[in-house]
Structure 1
Amino acid sequence: MKKLLLILTLFLTVGLAVTAQDDGDDKKTPGGKVEALKIAYITQKLNLSPEEAQKFWPIYNKYAAELRKVRVDGRLNKETEIEIEEKLLAIRKKYNGEFTKALSPEKVNAFFKAEKDFGTVLQKELLERRQQKLENRKNNNH
């Protein structure tokens, strides 16, 4: 029963995250897919109980929305990278306390590490895909 609740919670969370990103603009779809992959990656790394997941994901959704807003506003306002990073760090510090209401300090730390690791994994995957495309093009031209 607990596994069923966890799976249901994850599907709902992923659905909400993707829906929140999808405002009918097809350009947003890849971001929604990446967010869904990120949620799955974090879920796997944190090994959340159903109770933890139920508390954690609503906080995470607010956190992700604030990060997104800072990034978008920073680009629109032509802020420097340092200014944007300072704002992002302030949000992370703020939510560190919020996340500890749902998770142990160890899991909160694991979350921030998993979030960072996901970026690295994503970059590696994108680089490998680009290289594969270039190799395929090169092979097709010969």
Structure 2
Amino acid sequence: MNIKKILPILLLLFSFNFYAQGEKMKEKKEQIKVLKVAFLTTELDLTTSEAEKFWPLYNTFDDKQFELRHQKMKTLMKRINDGGLDKMSEKEASTFLTQMESNEEELFLLRKKFTANLKTIIPAIKIIKLRKSEEDFNRKLLHQYRDKGPRK
């Protein structure tokens, strides 16, 4: 068979495969988000008034935090995992380190601003409970993943 006829078919099949994987990731992320909302709702015991103001603020914060961690760090980590670390000059490493520190600082400032905004909505004790609950949820999620193991 002619390669010109096979190539478009192969490209089409690969593109469907990548699309399906992207959809699975979105689906998993949504499942985790639903579980997290349920967990935090139970742990924080928000009043109706608090919940109305809290959830839009939290969702905005969570989305921005996800973007910072996973999109920007993904780019940085790709460089490390591609073996580029061994071939990196001192100047490139310094620039890379500055980018990593900048990302961490941006995450810190995002959290700080979020906490300041929360202080106008919920009491400080619930903000502390939120931090603890987020850590508990992440730990629980990690244990579940570890117990089930990566599926092949």
**What TM-score does the superposition give when structure 2 sets the normalisation length?**
0.63
Q: What is the match of residue 94 of structure 1?
A: 113
Deviates more, 1:108-117 or 1:85-94: 85-94
Distance (whole Å) between structure 2 residues aligned to residue 60 and residue 107 of structure 1: 13
Q: What amino acid maps onto 2:57 in structure 1?
A: I
* Number of residue pairs the alignment of both structures matches: 109
Give, in angstroms, the shift of residue 76 of structure 1. Answer: 4.8
Distance (whole Å) between structure 1 residues aligned to residue 106 and residue 122 of structure 2: 24
Greater CA radius of gyration, 1 or 2?
A: 2
Distance (whole Å) between structure 1 residues aligned to residue 71 and residue 25 of structure 2: 18
Task: Show CA shifts across 1:50-77 (max 9, x none).
Answer: 1111110010011011101212331354
Equivalent runs, 1:82-121 vs 2, <5 Å: 82-121=101-140
1:125 paired with 2:123, answer: no
Structure 1 residues not aligned, in runs of 5+: 1-23, 134-142
Task: Show CA shifts across 1:16-67 (max 9, x none).
Answer: xxxxxxxx93431101100111111111100111111111001001101110
Distance (whole Å) between structure 2 residues aligned to residue 77 and residue 29 of structure 1: 22
Higher relative contact order (CA 8 A, sep 6+): 2
Identity, % of aligned positions? 27
Distance (whole Å) between structure 1 residues aligned to residue 124 and residue 51 of structure 2: 15
Distance (whole Å) between structure 2 residues aligned to residue 119 and residue 26 of structure 1: 20
Equivalent runs, 1:25-64 vs 2, <5 Å: 25-64=23-62
**CA RMSD between the two structures:** 2.2
Distance (whole Å) between structure 2 residues aligned to residue 85 and residue 114 of structure 1: 22
Q: What amino acid maps onto 1:104 in structure 2?
A: P
Distance (whole Å) between structure 2 residues aligned to residue 51 and residue 61 of structure 1: 16
